Amino acid sequence: MELNFVVTILDRVRKAEIAELYKSLGSKITLSMLGRGTATSRHLLTNGLTATEKAVVATAADADATRQFMRTAKKKMFMDIPGNGIMVSIPIKSVGGGKSLAQLTDRMPEGGVKPQAEYTHELILIVCNEGHSEKVMNVAREAGAGGGTIVPAMGTGKQRPEKFMGISLADEKDMLFIVETGKKKAAIMRAVMEQVGPDTASGAICFSLPVSQVVGLRQEDEEEA
């Protein structure tokens, strides 16, 4: 079966609305985080993310449920209209046993989890030291990112003074969520690592996850003419 981690980023005032949509369509577990948007006004009309309070709401769903979530989000929450947020599905490669799968989807199918092979978009996750998110986002934007969402986080190193490559593992952190096309990913991640990476005061590290479906991110013209 195909299993996805469905993530929605939208204005915080609509957090309960998307959580209720997940629940009404059979979601077993819903996770909510609070953040803030970073997009510039130039991208307001194209990406639907402004510098406002945001919520990141996620759940797990099989392929049929994922499609239903996205159809319903477009129909009832107008998620496909810029300004109403972004919904993406991230393929889950494996699950810790049948009981975990049953908790996530209320199903125990045979054959394991089988993600699809090709993806046009990716979710870039950047973790940096607290207070450096705007600087990191500016670097990412200059490399082609349209906008992102910042979520406060806390590191969990074994001991607070412990460091890895000069980076404290247990201080307050900022996480940046950036959804972009695969062709832009490499340039964005390279710029982050070169300009605000682990050996700088920002201490940024980054990785990306494939996105199998996306709603709310207006497609660019192929020629960008």
pLDDT at 187: 94
pLDDT in tens, 8-53: 999 999 999 999 999 888 887 888 999 888 755 555 445 544 557 8
Q: Smallest Cα–Cα separation from 196: which of 206, 207, 188, 204?
A: 204
DSSP β-ladder status, 86-91 and 30-37: unpaired
- Which sign does the torsion angle of CA 85, 58, 91, 40 carry? positive
Residues 168, 157: Cα–Cα separation, whole Å: 8
CA distance from start to end of the chain: 40
Establish how many alpha carbons lie within 13 A of residue 175's alpha carbon, considering only the half-sphere containing its beta carbon. Answer: 16
Average pLDDT over residues 197-203: 90
Q: Would you state the pLDDT for residue 92?
A: 83
Q: Which two tokens stand for residue 95?
A: 């699950």
Query: Where would I find the H helices in 78-132?
Result: 98-105
pLDDT at res. 28: 79
For residue 222, give the 3-state DSSP assignment. coil
> Which of 9-18, 96-105, 130-139, 206-215 has the least mean pLDDT?
96-105
Helices in the chain by DSSP H: which ranges? Answer: 15-24, 44-47, 63-77, 98-105, 133-142, 182-196
Domains of the chain: 3-117 (3.30.70.120), 121-210 (3.30.70.120)
48's tokens: 């639907």
Which of 104-118, 128-142, 169-183 has the highest average model confidence (pLDDT)? 128-142
pLDDT classification of 220: cutoffs 50, 70, 90: very low
- Tell me the residue ranges of DSSP E strands in the chain: 3-11, 30-37, 53-62, 86-91, 121-129, 149-154, 163-164, 167-168, 172-181, 205-211, 213-215
Number of Cβ within a 10 Å radius of residue 127: 18
**How confident is the model over 176-186, as a mean pLDDT?**
91
